[in-house]
Structure 1
Amino acid sequence: MNTHRIRRPQVEDAAAIHDLVSACDLAVLGHVDTTLEDIADELVEPEFDRDTDGWLAEDSDGRPVGWAWACRKGDSDNVDVEVLVRPGTEGLSAGLWALVLGRAKEIAAELGHSGATVDIGVYRADEGKRAEAEAKGFQPATSFHRMRIDFTAPPAPPEPLPGLTLHTGEDEEVRRQAHLVHQEGFADHFGFIKVDYDAWYERRTAQSVNDWSQLIVARVDGEPAAMLHANNAFVPDEDCGYVGTLATLPAYRGRGLGRHLLLRAFAADAARGRKGTILHVDSNNTTPALGLYTSAGMRPVMVIDVWRRRV
């Protein structure tokens, strides 16, 4: 008989949860794709309440065998969820799915919505989880490609553009301009929920991988036009820089600003001694971002599909 104890997670559980997630990664990918820092950041995500939104399942020996959570996105009806069960564990998955879907509906109701739009990310290689999501009523919504470039030689910084100046995020005015560009530049992107500056700033500050010096705002003739925010998310496991956000205001698209910032990020990562640069791109992006990245020398190395359903 399978007996599992399910409790709320604590910040101190990060290492134990990481051990569980690593086992799941290894079974699907053949390598660990999640760092301890990733898990630690999940547990202190400002929009995630450990007392209501997460569940850690343990076996009779106290070993974590299941990890599930639901996390709101601003004040929207969109809720991200995750369900992970240690390979070989029986009789647990269905209960965790029920918990996260029930909590997603509760979150939406608490925010004044009649239902929730629930998203879960699934590695393309994870046939078992894909089948589970489909059985729970989820359908494919979009796909994110992980793109990577490896530096075989130091990449050259881009040539200057007329009227372009670059400014880093240690300054609050620059951060506020970056927030503005991000919110407007991503307005039509899949799953994007606009948030005010304080929430935007709080979430990034809570991330252990954040580095405000890697936030760049591009101004054209003194006006904010584009932004790039890189961080250290892939330094511990891949020794690569990571472009978390790259956005251009609609009025400034087609001028090469995104490419300029991307090439600058490559050069900056190389100067830091990184092996390369990584980013994720939505294959259904409303702008031709995938073509930009491949033309700059990046290649796809992984696909993560987003599955969606209403509850």
Structure 2
Amino acid sequence: MSLPAGYTVRPMRQEDAALIAERSGVYTAALLGFPKHSPEDVANYLRDPGIDLATDAWVVLGPDGDFAGSATAVPITGGTHLNLDILSENPAVLSWLLDQVEHRAAEVARHEVVVRVGVIRQDDRLAAVVAARGFAVGTSTHRMRISFDGPIPPPAVPEGVVVRRGAPDEASRRAAHGVLMEAFADQPGTLPRPFEDWAASRESRSTFDWSQVTVVEVDGRAVGMTECNHNFVSTDNCGYVGRLGVIPSARGRGLAKFLLQNAFAVDAAAGRTGTILHVDAGNPTPAVALYTNAGMHPDLTSDIWTRTVRNDRTWSSSTPPHRLFPA
């Protein structure tokens, strides 16, 4: 399909971060009562070394030159999955952007790629568009939050556990990454990137530094970790737990509870009024119960719609892929 008459497209640029954050904030606040993303979160995403803005991101402009929509389609987990973020109030623009995403998915797929898009549960417009394109809900994610009304005492360290605060060198960073790889091995769509890519992505973020990593060890081996950042400080004055993982052989010892309570205490001591994290409702570990029992509650739920695209797909000559640059 083509864009509506008078609409144009260009590649996304890093300097678009403020515009996209503003438009996304208006759109999501109308649905939720608050913006889903902070400006820092959007800027970090666009500067991440894992995204190629020339091939994986689009900005659509209306006849008056004003913003009409955007999308990013970022391959992850070695190209087996492609994460889509899409924004427009115009269903025709949404459909056109989905065309570009599916063409891009077919290009990057070795055999097939799972395209995933998170849709706020209140967003009936986007849900209808992706459903009409053959997407189906695979799982849901909750944004969990806890608010503080005073200091949070640091939790007692479990017996036999050594706590390492910060990851100042490559050895400590590799230990933290190794925990993530083992902890999320049964969730292939959420595996972290290879170490070098993972570390580079963290270095690119304005809201993160390596002092925000905490690793717990048992018998000299790293078995659990948290990776926190300041993504929601400017908008919510909340800390954010980007990752929390414990390897399977070390579960059942209270390490996840310790790491979570430790994050609360660190945030409260820094003057934050709460802590936020995201969790997959289909997580095979009892993560949702852990967070709920700790006093967290969901303030946003997104359904994760998925569709499998194969690289042997035959495209109609009437709908050629739109290329931002010559092939």
Tell whether the structures are fold-level matches, with TM greater than 0.5. Answer: yes
Shift of 1:94: 1.8
Deviations 1:213-253 (A, max 9, x none): 11001011221110011111111101000111000011100
- Are 1:177 and 2:178 matched, yes or no? no
Shift of 1:82: 2.1
Percent sequence identity is 40
Tell me the equivalent position of 1:11. Answer: 14
Give the TM-score of the pair, scaled to structure 2: 0.89
User: Could you list the runs of 5+ residues in structure 1 that have no partner in the other structure?
Assistant: none
Q: Retained in 1: the 8 A contact 2:91–2:129? A: no
Distance in 2 (alpha carbons) for counterparts of 1:193 and 1:215 = 17
- Are 1:267 and 2:268 matched, yes or no? no
Distance in 1 (alpha carbons) for counterparts of 2:24 and 2:236 = 17
- Structure 2 residue matching 1:51: 3-state secondary structure: helix
Tell me the equivalent position of 1:191. Answer: 189
Tell me the equivalent position of 1:132. Answer: 129
Shift of 1:194: 4.9
Tell me the equivalent position of 2:80. Answer: 77
- Are 1:159 and 2:156 matched, yes or no? yes
Paired letter, 1:210: F
Distance 1:2 1:173, change over 3 A: same
Q: Retained in 1: the 8 A contact 2:119–2:127? A: yes
- Are 1:39 and 2:39 matched, yes or no? no
- Structure 1 residue matching 2:24: 3-state secondary structure: helix
Tell me the equivalent position of 2:322. Answer: none
User: Could you list the runs of 5+ residues in structure 2 that have no partner in the other structure?
Assistant: 310-327
Distance in 2 (alpha carbons) for counterparts of 1:193 and 1:297 = 27
Shift of 1:22: 2.1
Distance in 2 (alpha carbons) for counterparts of 1:253 and 1:205 = 30
Give the TM-score of the pair, scaled to structure 1: 0.94
Distance in 1 (alpha carbons) for counterparts of 2:34 and 2:184 = 32
Shift of 1:90: 6.3
Deviations 1:165-194 (A, max 9, x none): 111212322211000000000111261235
Distance in 1 (alpha carbons) for counterparts of 2:290 and 2:96 = 43
Report 1:150-299 matches (<5 A).
Answer: 150-167=147-164, 168-189=166-187, 191-299=189-297
Question: What is the aligned length?
Answer: 305
- Structure 2 residue matching 1:92: 3-state secondary structure: helix
Paired letter, 2:279: V
Distance in 2 (alpha carbons) for counterparts of 1:55 and 1:43 = 12
Distance 1:148 1:26, change over 3 A: closer
Tell me the equivalent position of 1:100. Answer: 101
- Structure 1 residue matching 2:42: 3-state secondary structure: helix
Distance 1:28 1:206, change over 3 A: same
Q: Retained in 1: the 8 A contact 2:144–2:298? A: yes
- One of 27, 30, 38 as aligned partner of 1:24: 27
Q: Retained in 1: the 8 A contact 2:152–2:269? A: no
Tell me the equivalent position of 2:316. Answer: none
Q: Retained in 1: the 8 A contact 2:154–2:262? A: yes
Distance in 2 (alpha carbons) for counterparts of 1:55 and 1:280 = 26
Distance 1:194 1:234, change over 3 A: closer
Distance 1:90 1:304, change over 3 A: closer
Distance in 1 (alpha carbons) for counterparts of 2:300 and 2:48 = 25
Q: Retained in 1: the 8 A contact 2:50–2:197? A: no
- Structure 2 residue matching 1:154: 3-state secondary structure: coil
Superposed structure 1 runs of 4+ greater than 4 Å apart: none
Tell me the equivalent position of 2:143. Answer: 146
Q: Retained in 1: the 8 A contact 2:116–2:306? A: yes
Distance in 1 (alpha carbons) for counterparts of 2:20 and 2:275 = 27
Distance in 1 (alpha carbons) for counterparts of 2:247 and 2:5 = 54
- Structure 2 residue matching 1:191: 3-state secondary structure: helix
